[in-house]
Chains A and B, each alone.
Chain A
Amino acid sequence: MIKHDIIIVGSGLAGMQAALEVCKDFDTAIITKVYPSRSHSGAAQGGIAASLGNASEDSWEDHMYDTVKGSDFFSDQDAVEIMVKDAPGVIRKMEHFGCVFSRTEKGLIAQRWFGGHSKQRACYAADRTGHALLHVLHEQTFKHAKNIKIYSEWYLMSLIVKDGICRGMVVYNIQKGKLEVMQAKTIIFCTGGYGRAYKITSNAFASTGDGIVAAYHAGLPLQDMEFVQFHPTGLFAQGILISEAARGEGGHLVNGKGERFMEKYASAKMELAPRDIVSRSEQTEINEGRGIDGKDYLHIDLRHLGKEKIIERLPQVRQLGIDFLGLDLIDDPLPIQPTAHYSMGGIPTDSDGHVLSDEKGTKVTGLFAAGECSCVSVHGANRLGTNSLLEALVFGERAGKAALTFTQNAEFHDVNEQEESNKVKNKVEAILNSNGKESINDIRNELKENMTTNCGIYRSKDQLEICLKKLNDLKARFKKGKITDKGFVFNSELIEFIELGNMLEFSEIIARGALRREESRGAHARTDFQKRDDDKWLNHTLAFKKDGEIEFRFKPVVITKHQPEERKY
């Protein structure tokens, strides 16, 4: 059995932030299914929010209000307050680590406009902000390499929680093809989001919600899973992200009639209204036949910005258009459509990253979570752009600090190595020895199609029931899934198989939660319940696994400074 005081699962911004905190005092390990610098945080383009006030006056109070309003008054305001207050400090810390930020004329960190923010608040590194942050943290892990052991291309298979105590996990060493049991006093989950279950998605192949499902299988609840953010500008058919920075810098959204249609939906904020609103507006345009040539896409037009600005501020976005569609946005508008982008839901935690096992706030001993896999909840029903890199850094650091304190008096707890390892081994062997005939590629494609069509931007009872029925069929077929690679070493087919199982599992939680929630709020838009209903639904969803079924419970939303009001832009 492999032992470390503290093991962190995931090496995105949240995971590495946490590791850098705890490695000062404890023997620390990170396990990650991709090399650290391949984590999906690196794909973030547009920016990270902090009220530095480098471009115009700003305050944490304004940042807080924007975030709460953006969340459709569904975020926990105590957590939001912590995040926005910590924001400037955490940005400076990254700067001191050596992050390569873009600069103003005066040499300060440059900031740009972003959707839903009332101030010019998004700190950026051209349009590769996540890349700059991820690499600077990776650099720091090299600096502390003596204290942080990184297990790259190791895959979390199961989490061991017994009697409310987290004890360890079972992992698969992908390169060697070996199962290992790991034991730790403290485990921190930073496993990222779950956007891969959608057909059109901006997410990496790795964003399959593994950590979330492992927690769920270990008996822990999942919170607000029905809230999935769709980003307004995915490259047509690919879903690859065209950063909101493109609109922040002044890009226009145009329909088939050549109109800037946002005029109709958010006349004040226009293209820079929050994402849920812009994505819905786009979908409405498409549904009503006003897509480009009546098809299911629209245009983002940046030509009026001019070559120089595009090359300086949006080089990566421009390159994506050239590489994937052969279109240069200096000369052409780009075809875009909404793309599944961000998972608001996840493993419930308090603002110190302690994982909570119920609606009363009972802590799981020795288990923490941070970043996109967690739900603290700072984004509520809709995240504002640039707030999630911030969340990953702030709560990654806080979880690290809390884990450090906790581990001071913690001990290793018993793990029955043989039993835990066998459980997973049997599961893997069952997969490898099965002579099922169902193509996992077909099942995955149908899952993605199903979630996009029936549980996407707009939802209704009828659609969600179809969605659930289809999910049931797919799960049955998945049991007869076909695998051709029977080896152990670097069996990426096996990994894809397990990931698909995870996606089927959490998709049902999304769809059931969406069916249950009879209101429209933030990213959750029901055509049959179009109004927000604060009397009935101003509370978080908790989904538990009970005898193979999903049991739902409630948890109140924390409201401190801002009472819910109508959301207008």
Chain B
Amino acid sequence: MSETTFKIQRFNPEKDKETYFQEFKLEIPKGATLLDCLNLIKWTQDGTLTFRMSCRSAICGSCSVRANGHAVLACKTQASSVAQNDQVTIKPLGNMEIIKDLAVDLTEFWKKVEAIKPWLMPDEKKETQTTERTQSVEEFLKIDKASTCIMCSSCYSDCCSMAVDKSFLGPTALAKAQRFVEDSRDKETISRIKELSEDAGIWDCTHCGECSQRCPTEAKPLDRIVSLRTVALNSGVTNNYGARHAKAFVKSIKSSGILNENTIPVASMGFFNIPGLLSLIPVGIRMFLKGKNPPLIHHPMQELDDVKRIFKKFEEK
């Protein structure tokens, strides 16, 4: 078996002014995860290499790093699967400051989770401690997926919107929020969704989809954000959208140079809530669609005709 080169980004605040790369050579043992390899390097080649880990079974969320530019859970990733031409580049997660080597500062990450008030707010009047509250299987399924989140911050690391706007709540916090907004036991649905619709909230997501791609569980933040937007729409929390939509558009272009078709909220909300949608469509979008959209839409959108129809109807109004 040939050796693989692990090109690892290093930084020790006690010594270094800047980050640099160091190469380690290792024969990847059969079935070894990326975490196994990092440990082998630490234990047999360089004890100063620093990274986080604990459960090594993909449940504690400690061990995310970036392999070849994308966030992965090191203990869930077969090392051989990320080695390309016997080489893999390992960097710390993005969108966060580095503490040392692959360990990043999670302070802001946790602050944003805290900001969405991540605890159940039940109807105190209805509370009885003597029995459990029932929840239908259907109701349970609405929150099951979000509840699988392990807070590994992989999505946060690779979020495009975060990259251009540090104030954005980010995919982890929003996925967590969905778990309360749609929990049949929580009574604050409306006030939560109002708060989440504020600046830096659900409308600031550019739908780049990185979060769901990087998510190692079923939590898939983008799907949760789409759920939240649907709730907002269905419950009539629709004021003051224009600015936010425009912002999302600008951001999408800023971060990817293109307008992702998913950025258009209608696509994610379904096409049934026509009045709601119409009330939503901001001036920015209209202008966009009228004048400059064709070259910017980078691949054909399935429901484009539907979208056009809706806009047409809107113009007529």
A residues in contact (CB < 8 Å) with B: 34-35, 37-40, 42-43, 52, 89, 91-93, 95-98, 100-103, 105-109, 125-126, 128, 131-132, 135, 139-140, 142-143, 145, 175, 177, 204-206, 237, 240-241, 315-316, 319-320, 323-326, 439, 441, 482-485, 487-493
Contact = CB atoms under 8 A, between A and B. Distances in A.
Contact of A96 (B50, B133, B151, B179): B133
Interface stretch (B51-59, B220-228, B234-242): B51-59
Contact of A325 (B31, B59, B106): B31
27 contacts: A34-B52, A35-B151, A42-B55, A42-B59, A52-B132, A92-B131, A92-B132, A93-B129, A95-B133, A98-B119, A98-B120, A98-B186, A103-B134, A103-B135, A103-B140, A132-B147, A177-B14, A204-B56, A205-B55, A205-B56, A315-B218, A323-B58, A482-B47, A485-B50, A487-B48, A490-B99, A492-B42
A96 B122 contact: yes
Given A139-B120, A324-B31, A108 B132 contact: yes
A446 to B, nearest CB: 13
A96 B119 contact: no
B265 to A, nearest CB: 28
Contacts of A42: 55, 59-60, 150
Contact of A38 (B54, B105, B144, B179): B54
Nearest to A109: B132
Contact of B55 (A38, A105, A175, A325): A38
A493 B42 contact: yes
A60 B136 CA distance: 27
A135 B147 contact: yes
B137 A240 contact: no
B171 interface: no
Pick the 8 closest A-B CB pairs, nearest first: A98-B120, A107-B134, A441-B43, A484-B47, A100-B147, A143-B119, A485-B48, A38-B60
B54 A206 contact: yes
Contacts of A140: 119
Nearest to B136: A107
Contacts of A482: 47
Contacts of A487: 12, 14-15, 48
Residue in B59, B62, B120, B143 whose Cβ sees the most chain A Cβ within 10 Å: B59
Nearest to A103: B140
A43 B57 contact: yes
A97 B120 contact: yes
A95 B54 contact: no
Nearest to A323: B76
Contacts of A39: 60
B103 interface: yes
Given A100-B144, A102-B140, A175-B99, A489 B12 contact: yes
B130 A107 contact: no
Contacts of A491: 50
Given A487-B12, A487-B15, A142 B137 contact: no
Nearest to A145: B114
Given A92-B132, A100-B143, A490 B50 contact: yes
A539 B144 CA distance: 45
Contacts of B48: 484-485, 487, 493
B127 interface: yes
Contacts of B151: 35, 37
Contacts of B143: 100
Given A98-B183, A143-B119, 19 more contacts: A34-B52, A34-B60, A35-B106, A35-B110, A37-B60, A37-B151, A40-B60, A92-B130, A96-B133, A98-B185, A100-B147, A107-B137, A131-B59, A237-B31, A240-B57, A441-B44, A489-B12, A490-B99, A493-B47
Residue in A95, A177, A206, A325 whose Cβ sees the most chain B Cβ within 10 Å: A95
A206 B59 CA distance: 14
Contacts of B57: 43, 240-241, 320
A320 B57 CA distance: 7
B263 interface: no
Given A93-B129, A105-B137, A142 B118 contact: yes
B56 A96 contact: no
B147 A492 contact: no
A485 B61 CA distance: 25
Interface string B111-123: 0011001111010
Contacts of B62: 34-35, 38
B99 to A, nearest CB: 6
B12 A142 contact: no
Contact of A205 (B50, B53, B61): B53
A143 B120 CA distance: 9
Contacts of A91: 132
B270 interface: no
B136 A142 contact: no
B294 interface: no
A204 B50 contact: no
A105 B135 CA distance: 9
B198 interface: no
A142 B119 contact: yes
Contacts of B179: 100
A34 B58 CA distance: 15
A204 B12 contact: no
B19 interface: no
A127 to B, nearest CB: 10
A128 B127 contact: no
B3 interface: no
Contacts of B129: 89, 92-93, 96
Contacts of A485: 47-48, 50
Contacts of B103: 490
A142 B47 contact: no
A108 B132 CA distance: 7
Interface string B139-170: 11001100110110000000000000000000
A131 to B, nearest CB: 6
Residue in B44, B110, B120 whose Cβ sees the most chain A Cβ within 10 Å: B120
A103 B60 CA distance: 24
Nearest to B100: A490
Contacts of A38: 54-55, 60-62
Contacts of B60: 34, 37-40, 42-43, 204
B137 A103 contact: yes
Contacts of B139: 107
Nearest to A237: B31
B13 interface: yes
B185 to A, nearest CB: 6
Nearest to A494: B47
Interface in B288-310: none
Contacts of A315: 218
Given A42-B59, A132-B147, A100 B127 contact: no
Contacts of B120: 96-98, 139
Contacts of A89: 129
A42 B217 CA distance: 14
Contacts of B105: 175
A124 B48 CA distance: 41
B23 interface: no
B33 interface: yes
A237 B29 CA distance: 13
B46 interface: yes
Contacts of A325: 31
